[in-house]
C-alpha cells in the first residue's frame, strides 16, 4: 500500500472513532433539521382560525368585515353585557365591540378576550375597521366609492430572478441571506475546526518525538499530505453524514405530518383588490406561480425551502470547504511544525486567521450587495473566497466570477501547500528554538 | 563487502556548518560506532543517512547504489529522542509503524507476535502507550526499529534512558542482531559499550571527522609503550636502576608491594625493560597499559594529544 495512504487511513480512522466526532455527527443534523422544520410548525400555529364575535351597535360594520383563512367574524345580535357574560360558554376567541360612539370616536371600539389576541389578528381587524371607517367618511364627504377603489393601489412587489433562458423565478432574498450566512459560517467553522486538528496533530507528533521515526520511513511531505487529506476526509464524512441525516429527519417529519408540508392553493383575497388592474398585468401575476400572500407564512416557508437549489449549494459547499480547508490546513500544519507546543502558536496564528475572520466580518456587507465590487473581490481572493462565495451563491453568481474564484482558489492551495511543506520539513525536526518570522524565511531556502 | 558509504558529506545550517566533508565506510556485518561530543554533528549525519535531511554536498551509497527513498525500508532507525503516539494502542501503533516501513499487515503481525513474546509484552497489545512505563515504551520502540529486519540498523544513543537491566538486554539484542548478520551503526557517549560492541569507529568533533578505523587498530596506534609493573616491596627506586631508554612515570609503595609505571622510549621491545629489571627486583606482574577508548576520545577531542599522561592513567 502506498505510504501516504497508510498515513491517511490512520489519521482518518483515529478521528472518526473519537467520541466527539460521533456526538457532533448526531447533534448536527438534529439542529439543521430543526432549522428547517421548526419554522414550518411555527408558521402553522397561527393557522388556527381565530373566531371573532362582532357586537356591532352601529350595524355599519358587520356586513363589511371580511373573514379570511385565519379570522372568522360572526355577527352577534345581543347586548355586549350578555355577550361578555356568555363568553366562556361560546367558543369565541374574542369579541369585537363596536359601540354607537365608534363612528365619531373610533377609540371606543374594544377587542375583548380572555387572552391576548395575536398581533396579526389585532392588526388585521384594525386595518379592516380603518378601511371601512375611511370609506364611510369618504362617502359622507361625497366621494364615490368606485372612484376611490380605482385610486386605491396595492403594491405587492414580487422579486423575480431571471435565470438561464430568460426564465423567471421568484427569489427569496431573505432565504438567500439566511442560507448564505449559514453556509459561510459553516465553512468558516469547518476550516477552523479541521485546520486546528491538523495543527494539533503536527504538534503532537513533534512533542511526542515520534516524528523522527516516521520521517525515517516516509518523506515529510507524504506525512503532511496524509494528515491533511485524512482530516479533510473526516470533515467531508461529517458533512455528508449531516446532509444525509438531516434530509432523513426532514423526510421522516414530512411522512409523519404530510399536511404540514403541502403547498396550499393560493389564497385569492387579493384578486378582488386587483381587479382594476389591466388584464395583461393581472395575467402576468397569475403566471408567476409563487406570488405569495404575505399572510400565508406557511406557503412562504415551504416555497422558500423549495426555492433552495440544494444540489448547487451542497456541491459548492463541498468544493469551497475542501479547497478552502486545503489552503488553510497546509498553513496550520506549517505553524504546528514551527512551534514546540500549542501555547506558542499564537504569534503565527494571527496572520493566518485574520483573513478568515475578516471574511466573516464582511459577510453582512456582502449580503447587502451580493454582486458589488467588495463581494466580487473578496469572493475571488483565495483567502476569503470560501466564506464569501458561499454567501454569494444563494443570490446567484455569474459564471465568470465563479470560475475565476475556483481557479484562483485551486492555485492558492497549491501555493500554500508548497510553501508550508518547506517550512514543515525543517520545522518538525527543530526543537527548543524560539522561532520567529526571519527564521521561517530562512527555512524556505534550505535544501530538502 | 562495503555496505554503506558516505563521501564528503557537507551540511550547513544558517549560522554554522554541522558536517564538513565527513566520509564513513561501513562494511556488512560490522558494528560501527559513531563517536563525538554533543553537538559534533553525529545526529546530523545520522539524519542524512536516514534521508530525513539531505546533505548540501557529498553522496551516499547503499550497496554501491546511490541512496534513494526506497532504501528507507532497508534501514531501521532508533532516534535518540524516542517517542510514540501516546493515545494510540500499542499493537495498532507497532503495526502502523511496521507498515510504514513497507511490511505487509500479515507479515508485520507475525513478526510482532514473536517480538512481543520475547519481551513479554503480549498483555499490553491493546493498551494505550501512555499506560506503559518508559522502559516498556523503549522496548516497543526497539521492536519497531528491528521488526522489518533491516540490513542496516542505526541506533542514536541507544542506551540513554534505559536502566542497567535494560541496557544489558539491549546489548544482548545488538549482539544477537550482529550474529544474524545485521550491520549496525550506533552513536554513543558510552565508551565502555564501544569497546564491548564496536568493530570500527569514526570520531567526529566540530563537524569534522578526526579519527576512524577499527577499534583494535586505533588502540594499537595510540598505545605508547607504557607498562605497569608490580613487585615485592623493596627499598629500591626504579629510577635509580633504569637507564635513559626507560622513563619512570610514577612509583608507589605499599606494605608489601611496589608499583611503577614505566614508558619505554625509542620503540624498544618490552623484553628490554624486563631484562633491565631482573637483576634488581623479582616481578609479580608486568602489564601493558592500553589506552581505553575513553582516553582516546577525551584526548582527541580536547586536542591535548598527551593522553598518555601518567596521572591520567594511574587512576
CB contact under 8 A, B14 and A7: no
Q: What is d(CA B13, CA A315) in angstroms, rounded to the nearest whole number? A: 47
Confidence of residue A381 (pLDDT cuts 50, 70, 90): very high
Q: Which residue of A has its CA nearest to B97?
A: A214
Q: Which residues of A touch B56 (CB under 8 A)?
A: 447
How would you class B73 by CB atoms within 10 Å of its CB: exposed for 0-12, middle for 13-18, buried for 19 or more? middle
Residue % of chain A over a pLDDT of 90? 25
On the question of pLDDT at B8 being above 80, the answer is: yes
Residue B106 has pLDDT above 90, yes or no: yes
Smallest CA–CA distance, residue A360 to chain B, in Å, is 35
Residue A216 in contact with partner chain B when CB distance is under 8 A: yes
User: Strand, coil or helix: what is B198?
Assistant: coil
Contact B75, B49 (CB under 8 A): yes
Of the listed ranges A211-220, A297-306, A399-408, B20-29, the one predicted with least confidence: A297-306
Does residue A445 sit at the B interface (CB-CB below 8 Å)? no
Q: Range(s) for CATH 3.40.190.10 in chain A?
A: 50-146
**Which tens digits make up the pLDDT trace of A250-265?**
888 888 877 766 655 4
Mean pLDDT of chain A, nearest integer: 80
**Section A390-413 average pLDDT:** 90
Secondary structure (3-state) at B55: coil
Helix (H) / strand (E) element for B155: namely strand B152-156
Find chain B residues with C-beta within 8 A of A10's C-beta.
96
Contact B141 A442 (CB under 8 A): no
Report chain A residues whose CB lies below 8 A from the CB of B145: 213
More confident residue, A47 or A94: A94
Cβ-contact A391, A181 below 8 angstroms: yes
Q: Of B50, B81, B86, which has the smallest distance from its Cβ to A216's Cβ?
A: B50
Whether residues A210 and B85 touch (CB distance < 8 A) is answered with yes
Beta bridge partners of B188: B35
Whether A204 and chain B come into contact, CB under 8 Å, resolves to yes
Look at B198 and A80; give whichever has higher pLDDT: B198
* SS3 state at A74: strand
Closest Cα in chain B, distance from residue A423 (Å): 13
Do residue B184 and residue B229 come from a single domain? no
Does any CB of chain A come closer than 8 Å to the CB of residue B9? no
- The answer to whether A447 contacts B54, with C-beta atoms less than 8 Å apart, is yes
Q: How far apart are CA B233 and CA B281, in angstroms?
A: 9
- For A292-296, A380-384, A390-394, which range has the lowest pLDDT when averaged over its residues? A292-296
Residues B150-198: tens digit of each pLDDT = 999 999 888 877 788 888 888 888 889 889 888 999 888 778 888 888 8
Residue B313 confidence (pLDDT)? 41
**Given this model, what pLDDT does residue B288 score?**
86
CA distance A163 to chain B (A): 53
A108 Cβ under 8 Å from any chain B Cβ = no
Q: Give A46's pLDDT tier (boundaries 50, 70, 90).
A: low
The pLDDT of residue A406 = 94
Query: Which residues on chain B are in Cβ contact (under 8 Å) with A446?
Result: 13
pLDDT for B94: 93
Residue B128 DSSP symbol? B
Position A347 confidence tier, pLDDT thresholds 50, 70, 90: confident
Which residue is closest to B76 within chain A, CA to CA? A216
Q: For B53-103, how does the pLDDT look when each residue is reduced to its tens digit (9 = 90+)?
A: 888 899 999 998 999 888 888 999 998 888 899 889 999 999 999 999 889
pLDDT of residue A163: 61
Angstrom distance (rounded) from CA A413 to CA A423: 15
A62 vs A59: CA distance, rounded Å: 6
* B168 & B255 share domain: no
Angle in degrees, 0-180, between the axes of helices A220-256 and A173-207, rounded to the nearest 10: 140
Residues B242 and B212 placed together within one structural domain of the fold: no
Q: Which of A205, A209, A213 sits opposite B97 (nearest CB)?
A: A213
Does residue B268 share a domain with residue B202? no
Rounded distance between C-alpha atoms, residue A120 and residue A71, angstroms = 10
* pLDDT score at A279: 46
Lowest mean pLDDT among A305-309, A389-393, B140-144: A305-309
Query: What letter would DSSP give residue A65?
Result: P
CB B262 within 8 A of CB B231: no
Q: How many CB atoms lie within 10 A of CB A328?
A: 29
Q: In total, how many domains does chain B have?
A: 2
Give the residue from A14, A20, A212, A438 with the most B CB atoms within 10 Å of its CB, the best one to mutate: A212
Q: What grid cell was written down for A195?
A: 485546520
Domain shared by B228 and B200, yes or no: no
Instruction: Kindly state whether A17 is in contact with chain B, defined as any CB-CB distance less than 8 angstroms.
Output: no
Q: What is the pLDDT of residue A285?
A: 46
Closest to A3 (Cβ–Cβ): which among B47, B53, B100?
B100
Q: What pLDDT score was predicted for residue A196?
A: 92
**How much of chain B, in percent, has pLDDT values that exceed 70?**
96
DSSP letters spanning A156-194: -PPPEEE-GGG-EEE--HHHHHHHHHHHHHHHHHHHHHH
Residues B275-288, mean pLDDT to the nearest whole number: 87
With CB atoms and an 8 Å threshold, state whether A218 touches B100: yes
Answer yes or no: do B52 and A214 touch at CB < 8 A: no
Beta strand pairing status for B226-232 and B257-264? antiparallel
Question: Which listed CATH number (3.40.190.10, 3.30.1180.10, 2.60.120.20, 3.40.50.12780) goes with A50-146?
Answer: 3.40.190.10
- The whole-number pLDDT of residue A167 equals 56
* Order of strands, sheet of B257-264, starting from the edge strand that comes earlier in the sequence: B246-253, B257-264, B226-232, B285-288
pLDDT tens readout for residues B21-64: 999 999 998 999 998 888 888 888 998 998 888 888 999 999 98
Q: Is the pLDDT of residue A384 over 50?
A: yes
End-to-end CA distance of chain B: 41
What sections of B242-307 are H helices per DSSP?
270-277, 293-302
**B47 and chain A in contact, CB less than 8 A:** yes
**DSSP 8-state secondary structure symbol assigned to residue A267:** P
Of B69, B99, B144, the CB nearest to A6: B99
What average pLDDT does this structure show over A99-127? 80
CATH number at residue B61: 3.40.50.300
Are the beta carbons of B52 and A429 separated by less than 8 Å?
A: yes
A219 touches chain B (CB under 8 A): yes
Instruction: Mark whether B163 and B233 lie in a shared domain.
Output: no
Q: Is the pLDDT of residue A331 over 90?
A: yes
The alpha carbon of residue A211 and the mean position of all alpha carbons in its chain are separated, in whole angstroms, by: 43
Residue in B69, B81, B84 closest to A219 by CB: B69
Q: Which residue of A has its CA nearest to B54?
A: A448
Is residue B193 domain-shared with residue B307, that is, in the same domain? no
Interface residue B83 vs chain A (CB under 8 A): yes
A-chain residues near B72 (CB < 8 A): 216-218
- What is the pLDDT, as a whole number, of residue A171? 63
Give the span between the Cα atoms of B312 and B215, in whole angstroms.
Answer: 20
Whether A201 has a pLDDT exceeding 80, the answer reads yes
Hey, are the CB atoms on A429 and B86 less than 8 Å from each other?
Answer: no
Beta pairing partners, A51: A72
User: Which three cell numbers mark A335?
Assistant: 505553524
Average pLDDT across chain B, whole number: 85
CB contact under 8 Å between A216 and B52, yes or no, is yes
Taking CA–CA distances from B15, the nearest residue in chain A reads A442
Of the pLDDT bands very low, low, confident and very high (cuts 50, 70, 90), residue A191 is very high
Of A205, A214, A446, the CB nearest to B100: A214
pLDDT higher than threshold 70 for residue A295 = no
What dihedral angle (degrees, nearest 10) is formed by the CA atoms of A32, A35, A40, A42?
140
CA nearest B72: which of A440, A214, A190, A352? A214
Q: Which residues of B touch A431 (CB under 8 A)?
A: 81
Considering only CB atoms, A208 lies closest to which of B72, B85, B102, namely: B85
Domain closes at, from B178, B193, B219: B219
| Residue B168 domain boundaries | 2-219
How large is the C-alpha radius of gyration of chain B? 24
For residues A348-360, average pLDDT: 90
Which residues on chain A are in Cβ contact (under 8 Å) with B132?
Answer: none
Select from B129, B127, B97, B100 the least CA-distant residue to B112: B97
Nearest to B199 by CA among B26, B79, B1: B26
Q: How far apart are CA A112 and CA A52, in angstroms?
A: 9
Domain with B295 in it: what CATH number? 3.30.70
pLDDT at A165: 58
Decide: A126 and A109 in contact? Cβ < 8 Å. Answer: no
Q: Indicate the DSSP class of residue A397.
A: -
CB contact under 8 A, A214 and B83: no
Percentage above 70 pLDDT, chain A: 82
Tell me which of B98 and B294 has the higher pLDDT. B98
CB contact under 8 A, B54 and A448: yes
Tell me: do B254 and B284 sit in the same domain: yes
CB atoms within 10 A of CB A33: 20
What pLDDT does A416 receive?
93
- Phi/psi of residue B67, each to 5°? -65, 130
Residue A29 CB contacts under 8 Å (≥ 6 apart), including other chains: A241, A242, A245, A246, A248, A249
A6/B14 touch (CB, cutoff 8 Å), yes or no: no
Q: Which residue, chain included where needed, has cell 532497508?
A: B74
Domain boundary among B165, B189, B219: B219
- Predicted pLDDT at B68: 87
∠ Cα B93 B95 B98 (to 5°): 110
CA-to-CA distance for A279 and A288, rounded, in angstroms?
A: 14
Measured CA to CA, the distance from residue A220 to residue B54 in angstroms comes to 12
Using the 3D structure, point to which of B169, B191, B219 is the last residue of a domain. Answer: B219
Q: What pLDDT was estimated at residue A129? A: 85
Amino acid at each position: 500500500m502506498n505510504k501516504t495512504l497508510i498515513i491517511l487511513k490512520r489519521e482518518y480512522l483515529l478521528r472518526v472513532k473519537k467520541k466527539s466526532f460521533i456526538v457532533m455527527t448526531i447533534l448536527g443534523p438534529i439542529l439543521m433539521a430543526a432549522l428547517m422544520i421548526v419554522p414550518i410548525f411555527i408558521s402553522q400555529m397561527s393557522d388556527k382560525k381565530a373566531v371573532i364575535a362582532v357586537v356591532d351597535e352601529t350595524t355599519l360594520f358587520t356586513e363589511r368585515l371580511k373573514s379570511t383563512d385565519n379570522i372568522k367574524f360572526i355577527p352577534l345580535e345581543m347586548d355586549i353585557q350578555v355577550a361578555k357574560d356568555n363568553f366562556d360558554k361560546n367558543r369565541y376567541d374574542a369579541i369585537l365591540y363596536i359601540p354607537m360612539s365608534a363612528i365619531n370616536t373610533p377609540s371606543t371600539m374594544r377587542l375583548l378576550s380572555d387572552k391576548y389576541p395575536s398581533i396579526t389578528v389585532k392588526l388585521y381587524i384594525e386595518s379592516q375597521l380603518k378601511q371601512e371607517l375611511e370609506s364611510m367618511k369618504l362617502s359622507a364627504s361625497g366621494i364615490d366609492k368606485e372612484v376611490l377603489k380605482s385610486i386605491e393601489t396595492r403594491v405587492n412587489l414580487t422579486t423575480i430572478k431571471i435565470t438561464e433562458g430568460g426564465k423567471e423565478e421568484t427569489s427569496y432574498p431573505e432565504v438567500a441571506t439566511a442560507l448564505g450566512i449559514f453556509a459561510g459560517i459553516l465553512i468558516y467553522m469547518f476550516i477552523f475546526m479541521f485546520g486546528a486538528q491538523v495543527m494539533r496533530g503536527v504538534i503532537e507528533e513533534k512533542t511526542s518525538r515520534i516524528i523522527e521515526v516516521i520521517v525515517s520511513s516516509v518523506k515529510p511531505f507524504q506525512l503532511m499530505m496524509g494528515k491533511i487529506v485524512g482530516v479533510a476526509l473526516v470533515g467531508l464524512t461529517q458533512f455528508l453524514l449531516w446532509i444525509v441525516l438531516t434530509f432523513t429527519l426532514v423526510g421522516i417529519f414530512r411522512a409523519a405530518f404530510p399536511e404540514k408540508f403541502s403547498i396550499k392553493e393560493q389564497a385569492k383575497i387579493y384578486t378582488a383588490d386587483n381587479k382594476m388592474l389591466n388584464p395583461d398585468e393581472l395575467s402576468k401575476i397569475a403566471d408567476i406561480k409563487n406570488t405569495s400572500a404575505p399572510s400565508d407564512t406557511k406557503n412562504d416557508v415551504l416555497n422558500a425551502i423549495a426555492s433552495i437549489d440544494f444540489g448547487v449549494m451542497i456541491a459548492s459547499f463541498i468544493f469551497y470547504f475542501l479547497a478552502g480547508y486545503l489552503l488553510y490546513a497546509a498553513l496550520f500544519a506549517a505553524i504546528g511544525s514551527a512551534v514546540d507546543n500549542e501555547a506558542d502558536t499564537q504569534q503565527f496564528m494571527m496572520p493566518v486567521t485574520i483573513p478568515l475572520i475578516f471574511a466573516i466580518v464582511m459577510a453582512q456587507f456582502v449580503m447587502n450587495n451580493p454582486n458589488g465590487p467588495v463581494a466580487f473581490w473578496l469572493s475571488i481572493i483565495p483567502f476569503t473566497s470560501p466564506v464569501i462565495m458561499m454567501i454569494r451563491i444563494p443570490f446567484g453568481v455569474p459564471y465568470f466570477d465563479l470560475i475565476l474564484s475556483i481557479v484562483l482558489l485551486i492555485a492558492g492551495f497549491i501555493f500554500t501547500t508548497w510553501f508550508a511543506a518547506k517550512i514543515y520539513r525543517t520545522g518538525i525536526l527543530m526543537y527548543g528554538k524560539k522561532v520567529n518570522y526571519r527564521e521561517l524565511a530562512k527555512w524556505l531556502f534550505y535544501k530538502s | 563487502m562495503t555496505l554503506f558509504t558516505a563521501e564528503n558529506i557537507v551540511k550547513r545550517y544558517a549560522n554554522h556548518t554541522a558536517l564538513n566533508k565527513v566520509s564513513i565506510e561501513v562494511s556488512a556485518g560490522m558494528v560501527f560506532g559513531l563517536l563525538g561530543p554533543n553537538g559534533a554533528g553525529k545526529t546530523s549525519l545520522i539524519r542524512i543517512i536516514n534521508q530525513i535531511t539531505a546533505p548540501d554536498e557529498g553522496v551516499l551509497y547503499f550497496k554501491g547504489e546511490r541512496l534513494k527513498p526506497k532504501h528507507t525500508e532497508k534501514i531501521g532507525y532508533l532516534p535518540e529522542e524516542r517517542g510514540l503516539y501516546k493515545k494510540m494502542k500499542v499493537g495498532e501503533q507497532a503495526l502502523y509503524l511496521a507498515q510504514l516501513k513497507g511490511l505487509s499487515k500479515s507479515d508485520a503481525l507475525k513478526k510482532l507476535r514473536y517480538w512481543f513474546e520475547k519481551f513479554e509484552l503480549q498483555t499490553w497489545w491493546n493498551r494505550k502507550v501512555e499506560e506503559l512505563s518508559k522502559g516498556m515504551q523503549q522496548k516497543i520502540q526497539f521492536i519497531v526499529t528491528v521488526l522489518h529486519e533491516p540490513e542496516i540498523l542505526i541506533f542514536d544513543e541507544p542506551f540513554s534512558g534505559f536502566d542497567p537491566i535494560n541496557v544489558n538486554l539491549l546489548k544482548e539484542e545488538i549482539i544477537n542482531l550482529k550474529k544474524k548478520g545485521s550491520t549496525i551503526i550506533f552513536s554513543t557517549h558510552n565508551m565502555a559499550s564501544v569497546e564491548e560492541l564496536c568493530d570500527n569507529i569514526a570520531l567526529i568533533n566540530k563537524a569534522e571527522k578526526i579519527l576512524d578505523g577499527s577499534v583494535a587498530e586505533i588502540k594499537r596506534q595510540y598505545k605508547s609503550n607504557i607498562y605497569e609493573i608490580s613487585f615485592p616491596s623493596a627499598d629500591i627506586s626504579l629510577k635509580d636502576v633504569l637507564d635513559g631508554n626507560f622513563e619512570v612515570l610514577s612509583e608507589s609503595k605499599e606494605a608489601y608491594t611496589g608499583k611503577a609505571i614505566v614508558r619505554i622510549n625509542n620503540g624498544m621491545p618490552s623484553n628490554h625493560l624486563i631484562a633491565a629489571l631482573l637483576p634488581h627486583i623479582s616481578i609479580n606482574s608486568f602489564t601493558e597499559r592500553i589506552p581505553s577508548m575513553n582516553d582516546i576520545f577525551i584526548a582527541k577531542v580536547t586536542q591535548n594529544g598527551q593522553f598518555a599522561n601518567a596521572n591520567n592513567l594511574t587512576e
